[in-house]
């Protein structure tokens, strides 16, 4: 039995809109691996993160990730950078060990998932011994006494970890906190401080800084304009207006595709209402979503016309690039070249060897 169904609607979207638009080789800078058996408590019981992603998939084994690419992009080679997805009470070592073993077995680049309680030496050793290329962390690992609206970047990426990243020139995959998202003044202050204090960090703002609606952007791109090596991934972001603003301001050379699998296996389309994103989904497919402010069901008829979140993300970038007058060259940079160059550089600077994903 297939991991998920590919419908005629999906085939039409892929065959007519994406197959020839996407480069033959795709680099996915943002994908997750974990097993449900790693959970020590039910997901999101601390309410520091949205819960709807776990309605799509309870876990994502390395085998499921490979199968997802086979089903979604049958005419393309996809190279993902993988990292874990732990909750605060999980054993992060178990998560990181699984990612490390999976990356070695499948030839993937990977990031080490750090916990703010770890020492700098422990984080550095974890990266080097595991062959990782940098760090990912998450706001729900910030100290429990800090209310979710008050969490700042340094609460889960402490300065001693930033010093390690800077010394080695490693990748920092940053999912920013706070309800105002990318435009939040404290987020912008912290990002600017990190860029000034730790200039060798290869800093990536995940999900375009969680700017899923135009209202989330504010003046952020203007404020961040002095930092011309700051990078963005647009994982789980399917807003063509936001992506047009991003690429139009920073250029195609600093933007990277990320799938955020497994959640982008969701069938949906997204709307914004009063600056708040809502995922419109087929009725009954993801259980009772009536209490989730980010979810809303559509009619049975419309539900049959919905394709994958991941396709909508790729289509949104296609629309943004076309609006800007860009073509195949920029599409190759965004969906492959930028990430490929970054990963190759960090790999060779750190380990003096080619990456296991590189074609030799």
| Residue at 288 is within a domain | yes
Q: Model confidence over 252-307: pLDDT tens digits?
A: 999 999 999 999 999 999 999 999 999 999 999 999 999 999 999 999 999 999 99
Q: Model confidence over 321-346: pLDDT tens digits?
A: 999 999 999 999 999 999 999 999 99
Per-residue pLDDT, averaged over 40-64, amounts to 82
Q: Looking at the predicted structure, is the pLDDT value of residue 47 above 60?
A: no
| Integer Cα distance of 109 and 154 in angstroms | 25
Label residue 46 by pLDDT band (50, 70, 90).
low
In this prediction, residue 40 carries a pLDDT of: 82
Per-residue pLDDT, averaged over 45-50, amounts to 66
Q: Looking at the predicted structure, is the pLDDT value of residue 43 above 90?
A: no
User: Could you tell me if 258 and 186 lie in one domain?
Assistant: yes
| Residue at 272 is within a domain | yes
| Residue at 196 is within a domain | yes
Radius of gyration of the chain (CA): 19
User: Could you tell me if 68 and 199 lie in one domain?
Assistant: yes
Label residue 250 by pLDDT band (50, 70, 90).
very high
Percent of the chain topping pLDDT 90: 95
| Residue at 139 is within a domain | yes
Longest alpha-carbon distance in the chain: 56
Per-residue pLDDT, averaged over 159-163, amounts to 98
Whether the bond into 262 is cis, omega within 30 of 0 = yes
For residue 26, what are the β-bridge partners? 78
Label residue 51 by pLDDT band (50, 70, 90).
confident
User: Could you tell me if 166 and 234 lie in one domain?
Assistant: yes
Q: Tell me which of 214 and 360 has the higher pLDDT.
A: 214
* Number of independent structural domains in the chain: 2
Domain of 325, CATH number, reads: 3.20.20.140
Q: Model confidence over 164-189: pLDDT tens digits?
A: 999 999 999 999 999 999 999 999 99
The answer to whether residues 83 and 175 touch, using CB atoms and an 8 Å cutoff, is no
User: Could you tell me if 142 and 286 lie in one domain?
Assistant: no
Spacing of C-alpha 290 from chain mean position: 26
Q: Residue 297 sits in which domain range? A: 268-306
Angle at Cα 320 formed by Cα 239 and Cα 191, nearest 5°? Answer: 65
In this prediction, residue 194 carries a pLDDT of: 98
Q: Looking at the predicted structure, is the pLDDT value of residue 89 above 60?
A: yes
User: Could you tell me if 301 and 246 lie in one domain?
Assistant: no
| Residue at 358 is within a domain | no
Mean pLDDT taken over the chain: 96
User: Could you tell me if 174 and 302 lie in one domain?
Assistant: no
For residue 296, what are the β-bridge partners? 280
| Integer Cα distance of 342 and 344 in angstroms | 6
Per-residue pLDDT, averaged over 67-94, amounts to 97
In this prediction, residue 122 carries a pLDDT of: 98
Q: Looking at the predicted structure, is the pLDDT value of residue 360 above 70?
A: no
Percent of the chain topping pLDDT 70: 98
The answer to whether residues 4 and 301 touch, using CB atoms and an 8 Å cutoff, is no
User: Could you tell me if 272 and 135 lie in one domain?
Assistant: no
Phi-psi region of 243 (alpha: psi -120 to 50; beta: other; left: phi over 0): alpha
| Integer Cα distance of 355 and 360 in angstroms | 9
| Residue at 277 is within a domain | yes
| Integer Cα distance of 319 and 86 in angstroms | 34
User: Could you tell me if 51 and 145 lie in one domain?
Assistant: yes
User: Could you tell me if 178 and 234 lie in one domain?
Assistant: yes
Q: Looking at the predicted structure, is the pLDDT value of residue 17 above 60?
A: yes
User: Could you tell me if 173 and 120 lie in one domain?
Assistant: yes
Output the DSSP codes for 229-281. T-EEE-TT---HHHHHHHHHHH-GGGEE----TTGGG-B-EEEEETTEEEEEE
User: Could you tell me if 199 and 284 lie in one domain?
Assistant: no
| Residue at 3 is within a domain | no
User: Could you tell me if 161 and 287 lie in one domain?
Assistant: no
Q: Model confidence over 117-142: pLDDT tens digits?
A: 999 999 999 999 999 999 999 999 99
| Residue at 360 is within a domain | no
């Amino acid at each position: 039995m297939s991991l998920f169904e590919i419908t005629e609607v999906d085939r039409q979207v892929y065959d007519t809109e994406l197959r020839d638009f996407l480069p033959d080789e795709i680099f996915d800078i943002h994908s997750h691996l974990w097993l449900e058996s790693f959970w020590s408590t039910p997901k999101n019981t601390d309410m520091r993160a949205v819960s709807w992603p776990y309605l799509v998939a309870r876990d994502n084994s390395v085998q499921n990730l490979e199968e997802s690419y086979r089903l979604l992009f049958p005419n393309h080679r996809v190279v993902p950078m993988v990292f874990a997805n732990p909750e605060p009470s999980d054993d992060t070592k178990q998560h990181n060990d699984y990612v490390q073993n999976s990356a070695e077995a499948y030839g993937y680049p990977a990031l080490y998932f750090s916990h703010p309680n770890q020492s700098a030496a422990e984080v550095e050793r974890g990266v080097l011994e595991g062959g990782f290329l940098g760090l990912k962390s998450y706001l729900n690992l910030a100290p429990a006494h800090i209310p979710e609206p008050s969490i700042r970047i340094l609460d889960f990426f402490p300065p001693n970890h930033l010093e390690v990243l800077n010394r080695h020139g490693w990748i920092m995959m940053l999912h920013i906190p706070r309800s105002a998202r990318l435009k939040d003044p404290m987020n912008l202050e912290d990002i600017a401080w990190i860029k000034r204090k730790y200039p060798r960090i290869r800093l990536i703002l995940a999900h375009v800084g969680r700017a899923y609606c135009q209202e989330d952007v504010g003046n952020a791109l203007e404020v961040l304009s002095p930092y011309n090596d700051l990078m963005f991934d647009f994982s789980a972001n399917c807003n063509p207006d936001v992506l047009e603003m991003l690429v139009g301001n920073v250029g195609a050379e600093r933007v990277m595709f990320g799938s955020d699998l497994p959640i982008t296996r969701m069938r949906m389309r997204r709307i914004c209402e009063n600056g708040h994103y809502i995922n419109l989904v087929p009725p009954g497919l993801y259980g009772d979503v009536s209490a989730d402010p980010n979810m809303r069901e559509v009619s049975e008829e419309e539900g049959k016309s919905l394709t994958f979140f991941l396709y909508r993300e790729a289509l949104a970038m296609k629309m943004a690039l076309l609006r800007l007058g860009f073509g195949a060259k920029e599409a190759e940079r965004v969906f492959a070249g930028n990430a490929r160059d970054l990963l190759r550089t960090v790999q060779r600077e750190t380990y003096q060897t080619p990456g296991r994903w590189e074609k030799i």
